[in-house]
Amino acid sequence: MDAQKKILILDDEAQFLELCQELLSTLPVKPEVRTASSGAHAIALLEAEPYSLLLTDLRMPNMDGFQVLAIVRRRFPGLRTVVMTGVSDDEYRTRAYAMGIDLYLEKPKTAQEIKMFVDCVESLLLREETGGFRGVQSKTLTDIVQMESLSQSSVTLKFTNGPFIGKIWLLNGDLMDAEMGDLSGEEAFKKIMSWRSGTFESLPADPARERRIMNSVQGLLLDSAQMLDEIAAGEVPGSGGEKAKAASPLAELGRQPGVEFVLTTNIGKGREFEHFGCDAPDKTAVWAAATAERFNQLGEKIKAGTLQQVITTGSQRGAGLTTRGEKVLCAGFQRGRTAGQILEALKRITAQWAS
Amino acid sequence: MGLLDFFSSKKAAPAIERLPSGSFTVDREGKVLTSTLPQGFAEASVREIGRTVVESMVSARGANLPVTELVVHYSGLKITAKEQRGGAMIFLAPVR
């Protein structure tokens, strides 16, 4: 007969501990749920008896979650660990996965999130029975999907790449569906497979998920591999890779002869901007946004017509600024160029930008 | 009859402001020092142009874009400003 599973929850919020204890005690495997309100207390409990799972918060006084995880990884390498935190920072997530945790969950706020949280914990407890090796290693997305497919797993893979989240559903090794933002099915799968880095989590399978991908995993992986090759060759703009970065729309504009940088922002709102090659993009964006606004207003007051371009020349560099609706495009030019030369180059850049 | 009245009636036609041609100088505060602009062009507009140009030149320095010349193209007017000891000499030329 199996020994009763034991879960240890570590958090400095007493109310959250109580709620978690209540939730997890109702799991079908009937685990014994203990709580600790400090890192030192948690370590002491772990040393006293074996546990199946540790759930820990990150932000805690005295000993934070990362310190606890470092000790746990060294002293209890077989213990499954889950970070459960209110911090949604990607840096923390990556750091926690690098320390070998099994899951990084944000503290549940809605009924759906609570259900997901409970399902994830149950799935981890059940997985413990199958044994296996655990470790920290970087794998490509293709490796991960291929491994899950070959082992005929039923799992939901959740991938995080910066602000983007993608999910891939597998049932008995078959690809069922994928989702990324507004995309779904094969389109979403291919988009996710174009990501170069990030983190992934194995969530419980969803057998009720409607099948929207009919092609085989291998076929789609081949397509994706071909696309990755194209990305490496810099042929797919906006895919995030180094060469692809160079192929982003602003980088394309920045390739015009004599152009030092290209920056886009919104009239009067210089805090939001995108740029390519600009040394001080925040200051330049503020100047570009304010200058476009000033001269727009001046044009209205003196009835001079629509603002078309603002050109500056100076001892360090020249600059050209133009607007399209609320958008402002500012380009920096190598010094020595005349206002006329900058105007002609800016017109070419503007035409490319507009297209 | 009424229709003819409509065509022949002389309403006061709105005055069309001409965009000016000429130049003026401003100091670092944007105060107008000298001007060759036609007197019909509103003084307030001249001051507004001078102030806007000087403000833009000053703020450009803060963005690592020190300016010796600033050219503003509108659909009906071109403003060219040359930096002069913190102030500027500003040329206005209507687009034809």
Reported ipTM: 0.85
Q: Which domains are present in chain A?
A: 6-130 (3.40.50.2300), 141-232 (no CATH), 248-354 (3.30.450.30)
Q: Do A310 and B70 touch (CB under 8 A)?
A: yes
The sign one gets for the Cα dihedral A174, A180, A182, A186 is negative
Among residues A23, A118, A11, A8, which one has the least CA distance to residue A72? A8
CA distance A222 to chain B (A): 48
pLDDT at B86 over 80: yes
pLDDT at A130: 54
Q: Which residues contact A130 (CB under 8 A, 6 or more apart)?
A: none
Q: Compute the C-alpha angle A162/A166/A170, nearest 5°.
A: 145
Instruction: Identify the bridge partners of residue A261 per DSSP, sorted by sequence position.
Output: A332
Q: How far apart are CA B32 and CA B51, in angstroms?
A: 9
- Tell whether B11 is covered by a domain: no
- Tell whether B73 is covered by a domain: yes
Q: How far apart are CA A92 and CA A104, in angstroms?
A: 9
Confidence of residue B53 (pLDDT cuts 50, 70, 90): very high
Q: Compute the C-alpha angle A150/A155/A157, nearest 5°.
A: 95
Q: Identify the closest residue of chain B to A282 by CA–CA distance.
A: B63
pLDDT at B11 over 50: no
Q: Compute the C-alpha angle B26/B27/B31, nearest 5°.
A: 65
Q: In what order do the strands lie in the sheet with B32-35?
A: A269-276, A259-266, A327-334, A317-324, A307-313, B69-74, B77-84, B87-94, B22-26, B32-35
pLDDT at B93: 92
Q: What is the CATH number of the domain that holds B39?
A: 3.30.450.30
Model's pTM, two decimal places?
Answer: 0.46
Contact (CB, 8 A) for A12 and A38: yes
Helices assigned H by DSSP within A99-184: 111-127, 141-150
Show which of residues 2-21 on chain B sit within 8 Å of chain A, judged by CB atoms. Answer: 17, 19
Please name the member of B45, B59, B71 whose beta carbon is closest to the beta carbon of A287: B59
pLDDT at B30: 87
DSSP letter string over A234-291? T-STTSSSHHHHHTSHHHHHHTSTTEEEEEEEETTEEEEEEEES-SSHHHHHHHHHHH
- Tell whether B18 is covered by a domain: no
Taking CB atoms and an 8 Å cutoff, what residues of chain B touch A339?
69, 71, 80
- Tell whether B80 is covered by a domain: yes
- Tell whether B37 is covered by a domain: yes
CA distance A307 to chain B (A): 4
Which carries the bigger pLDDT value, residue A122 or residue B50? B50
Taking CB atoms and an 8 Å cutoff, what residues of chain A touch B46?
none
Amino acid at site A252: E
For chain B, how many structural domains are there in total? 1
At A56, give phi and psi (nearest 5°): -135, 145
Q: How far apart are CA A319 and CA B56, in angstroms?
A: 13
- Tell whether B17 is covered by a domain: no
The sign one gets for the Cα dihedral A132, A135, A140, A141 is positive
Q: Is B85 exposed, middle or buried (0-12, 13-18, 19+ CB in 10 A)?
A: exposed
A243-281: pLDDT as tens digits: 444 456 787 787 777 888 899 998 877 788 888 888 788
pLDDT at B3: 45
Residues composing chain B: 96
pLDDT at A216: 81
- Tell whether B85 is covered by a domain: yes
Taking CB atoms and an 8 Å cutoff, what residues of chain A touch B40?
none
- Tell whether B74 is covered by a domain: yes
At A50, give phi and psi (nearest 5°): -75, 140
Contact (CB, 8 A) for A120 and A203: yes
pLDDT at B10 over 70: no
- With a pLDDT cut of 70, the percent of chain B lying above it is 81
Its domain, for residue B60, covers: 25-94
Low-confidence residues in chain A, pLDDT < 70: 1-2, 128-139, 162-163, 196-197, 228-248, 355
pLDDT at A309: 93
At A165, give phi and psi (nearest 5°): -125, 130
